[in-house]
Structure 1
């Protein structure tokens, strides 16, 4: 389960980076902001998983 969540976090981060880059390229501020939000969500999920790993050991 934890591996699945880590992969999901990485996927969210990657999708966010792509969306932000596309938004910047086409001049769409909303898309750029959505991309940053997706990256932040992925970062938060990754931090949560790392914290869970610390307390497992």
Structure 2
């Protein structure tokens, strides 16, 4: 299950980066903000998984 969550975190980060880039290119601040929010969500998931891995060792 850990690998699935890590993959989901990376997916959120990439999707967020894409939305932010497109939002900025189009001048759509709402889309850019949504992208930053998704990136943050992915970062939080990734940090949680790394913490879990550190305690497992």
Shift of 1:34: 0.3
C-alpha RMSD of matched pairs (Å): 0.3
Unaligned runs of 5+ in 1: none
Give the alignment's TM-score, normalised by structure 1. 0.99
Shift of 1:2: 0.2
How many correspondences in the alignment? 57
Unaligned runs of 5+ in 2: none
Measured in 2, the distance between the counterparts of 1:54 and 1:18 equals 30
